[in-house]
A and B are shown apart, each in its own frame.
Chain A
Amino acid sequence: EPEVTQTPSHQVTQMGQEVILRCVPISNHLYFYWYRQILGQKVEFLVSFYNNEISEKSEIFDDQFSVERPDGSNFTLKIRSTKLEDSAMYFCASSSRGQTYGYTFGSGTRLTVV
């Protein structure tokens, strides 16, 4: 069964450093998303991406965050200057038809900012 692949599975970084989280969505999917989940809290929407541009972003997704689809397969989330409160699980998801079929989530990247 096709899956969404995320790397790395766990990243530890120092406060103020830049991190790039990587995702390979399912190949025929057109809609891409990043969500985060702080430990013990809900899954929160960060950003959606379609047709090579951001469709929607949350208020969490400030100037420190950016997304890119640098080639036909990868989808990345960059955090420019990490803060302690950025520590969370980050999930990439993709979908073929937007709302109709739900998302397929990747296994996540656990980001720990120290």
Chain B
Amino acid sequence: AQTVTQSQPEMSVQEAETVTLSCTYDTSENNYYLFWYKQPPSRQMILVIRQEAYKQQNATENRFSVNFQKAAKSFSLKISDSQLGDTAMYFCAFIGGSNYKLTFGKGTLLTVNP
């Protein structure tokens, strides 16, 4: 069974600074996909960034980037130049093999302070 662990229940960062959210996962699959979703106070689930396990290059989307360490089964999210609108719950998620189920971590509540 796949599991996703987010060890930081809450984090805070000052506006314009950089913050890194941690995520580790456990799987026996070789082919899988990893995602970070954002859930702001509106409760909408928004896809932030995705990474294919077979790609060594780390994914980047504007101010969001990941550090994907396949051997360590680690998938952290870095947010640069943090903005007040980045305040949200962030979920790490995994899909692997023939299983189409998206498995989520417990989430990290990020607060960006002015």
Whether chains A and B associate is: no
